[in-house]
Structure 1
Amino acid sequence: MAKKADNAFYDAALGWLRDNTIRMAACSAEPANYAGIAAVKLAEATLASGDFTIANGDTSGRKVTIAAKSGVTIDTSGTANHIVLHNNSAILSYVTTCSNLVLTAGAGNTVNFPSWKVEINAPT
């Protein structure tokens, strides 16, 4: 028996991510919950719904691509190893790892977030 899911299934989940995220933070560790972001946040960018593009997945299923953000002020020095999407009030929308990047706070110091994606593959 074949397995499949309609695009509406994927788009509902990816649309929820878009609709419930207004910030992207580079963090020095995985926060345990929304309140834990403050203790590990190194830099943070504001996102808008237009920063999320839903399309066919690279492998299968569907994906949402989060737009790049350049020149984001580094607020706290440390090594970024997680990226956190959140709604700035209570919800950790999505948490993932990233390559270690040493960030140094100081006048004019910034970091660039490249574009990246969240992909939900088709059932196998």
Structure 2
Amino acid sequence: MQPIRLTPAQKMMASAVLVGVVIVGGASVTAAAFAGRLDDVAKVGDAPAAKLGPASHGRSVEVSPDAPRQGDVTRARSTPEVDPDVVLKELTDDPDGVADYWTQERIQGANPMPMPQVSVSIVPD
């Protein structure tokens, strides 16, 4: 049996089809994962299992739309705990004032910030 010989145009078309299939597959997996995540979010009218109590026996309990729900992604998040290793500074300077500060002479005389040095030691067991 003779091997199949493809012209460069046919090879390019096959590659384009393969890339298209991969992109469509990735998009469908992403959409399915996103849809599954939305199913996990509490819906209006449902209450988290921990708040139903033993007397409810799995029945649905009405929850007001203003009540915070477990897994609610639309509500504002609370401020996370402050990490001592993270430096946080809110910039309140006027952008025009900053632009006026950086003249050509200052830019040419500026030094880059030093890169942090990281060392890793592997201790054998």
The normalised TM-score by structure 2 is 0.21
The answer to which structure has the higher helix fraction is: 2
Structure possessing the higher relative contact order (Cα contacts under 8 Å, 6 or more residues apart): 1
The answer to which structure has the higher strand fraction is: 1
The normalised TM-score by structure 1 is 0.21
Quick check: which has more Rg, 1 or 2?
Answer: 2
